[in-house]
Structure 1
Amino acid sequence: MTPMRLIALDLDGTLIDSAPDLSDAINKMLAGLGMRQHPQAAIEQWVGNGVVMLIKRALTGQMEPAADPENLAGALALFADLYEAHVYERSIIYPGVMDGLEQLKEKGFKLACITNKIKRFTQPLMVKTGMTEYFDFIACGDSFARMKPDPLPLLKTAEHFDIEPAKAVMVGDSINDMRAGRSAGFKTASVSYGYAGKYSIEDLNADYQIQTIVELVDLFYSECAGRS
């Protein structure tokens, strides 16, 4: 088995339960527009395809909006200001994440965060959670021309480290993470929590299934330790 050298991790639903703050910002946006608000459980299902799609879904109440709402641009601007000001108030880091990142870093893995969240929100969130120091590279939803499920962010990340995709794993909670990983030639690992929406963990069809990020150490270090 090829030893893993690069561990790439999704952000929302994998490292951080960001739904509480996202939901608050969405509903404050909707209230400001005089529109009906949504329960957090519904908003959780809309996370993962970038901020523009999130706002389209919030405005229409549809998972796959047929057309752009007329008030999309104004809603986006309002949401951005609201969310940026309160990006880490009720959100929480999932159990095992910080220990897992520390152990992976100590074992010599290269760590990357690959998220569809734009840099404007990702950067302050990573700083506030104390995660920045663990990551060698952070790819946001606006870092490249395309985002997950397209493999481009993963391929660019592997290229950054000069590591072949076969020696990398994409860790996430969603079908987009798994599709991007497979398309890029990465191994895939799905967490048992997060925002998988209508998909079960079995539906994600990952190479590995984990309960916490800490498990990645036992999964990959024995392989990694023997690499040249």
Structure 2
Amino acid sequence: MHSCLEGIRLVAFDLDGTLIDSVPDLAAAVDVMLIERELAPAGAALVRDWVGNGSRKLIERALRYATGSVPDESTLDTAHTAFLEHYARAPHTRTRVYPRVKEALAALKQQGLILVLVTNKPHAFVAPILDAFDLADYFELTLGGDSLAQKKPDPAPLLYMANQFGVPGEQCLMIGDSRHDMEAGKRAGFRTLAVPYGYNHGEPIIASKPDLIVESLGELV
């Protein structure tokens, strides 16, 4: 096993941009929502930079881009509901698992590590996506962005996971693709590991100063 796992008992994974490339499906739902409102579609390239803070923030960014102004709460509520409905119809049609993800998860689980999932995606979408790609059995517990009152970069979801399994923070590792994952991990006292291929608002992940960067999760095994 990789040296970064020395002394680690629990590994928390992000989902979008770390294990799966979900932007194609997210962008399709965003664009349908925009077109319904007679606004120009955004496309996958822009949506890729908007992902990471939960679905409501994604839609706020999409509306701000399409209209040139910050949406009021009523407009945002309606657009967000529409997006969720569209995304629910096809949450994994175009989504793909990144290379060597399953190999890494299988090896880590075989080594007896506790694997958990902490994502800012609404929890209702997590199980269907994990099931579609045969990823569900690797994880002991999953949290979505609406599972608790706080979501990443707040450390609360990570602290919740550590407490659930009775593992101190220094024996936990956060693996993600964004500054929100790295900040949450550091604030929770976790070791942090980043991948550079995901969604980080157009910023290089090295700027978030993770403890380690790997090009592929396959490097862990």
| Short-chain TM bin | over 0.9
Which residue pairs with 1:13 in the alignment? 17
1:69 CA displacement: 5.4
Q: Distance in 1 between matches of 2:65 and 2:73?
A: 11
1:135 CA displacement: 0.3
Letter in 2 for 1:90: R
Q: Distance in 2 between matches of 1:181 and 1:112?
A: 13
Which residue pairs with 1:170 in the alignment? 174
Percent identical residues:
39
Q: What SS does structure 1 have at the residue aligned with 2:217?
A: coil
Which residue pairs with 1:96 in the alignment? 100
Q: Is the contact made by 2:195 and 2:215 (CA closer than 8 Å) also made in structure 1? A: yes
Structure 2 gaps of 5+ residues are: none
1:202 CA displacement: 1.7
Q: How many residues align?
A: 215
Q: Distance in 2 between matches of 1:121 and 1:35?
A: 26
* Aligned ranges 1:180-219 → 2 under 5 Å: 180-217=184-221
1:103-159 alpha-carbon deviations (Å, 9 max, x no partner):
111111100110000111112111111110000110110111100000000000001
Q: Which runs of 4+ in 1 moved over 4 A?
A: none
Structure 1 gaps of 5+ residues are: 218-228
Residue 71 (structure 1) aligned to one of 71, 75, 95: 75
1:214 CA displacement: 2.2
Residue 125 (structure 2) aligned to one of 121, 126, 129: 121
1:148 paired to 2:158: no
1:42 paired to 2:46: yes
Letter in 2 for 1:114: V
Q: TM-score, normalised by structure 2?
A: 0.93
Which residue pairs with 2:135 in the alignment? 131
Q: Distance in 2 between matches of 1:69 and 1:24?
A: 23
* Aligned ranges 1:51-90 → 2 under 5 Å: 51-61=55-65, 66=70, 68=72, 70-90=74-94
1:174-218 alpha-carbon deviations (Å, 9 max, x no partner):
00000000000000000021011232132121001111112223x
Q: What SS does structure 1 have at the residue aligned with 2:116?
A: strand
1:39 CA displacement: 2.1
1:23 CA displacement: 0.3
Q: What SS does structure 2 have at the residue aligned with 1:61?
A: helix
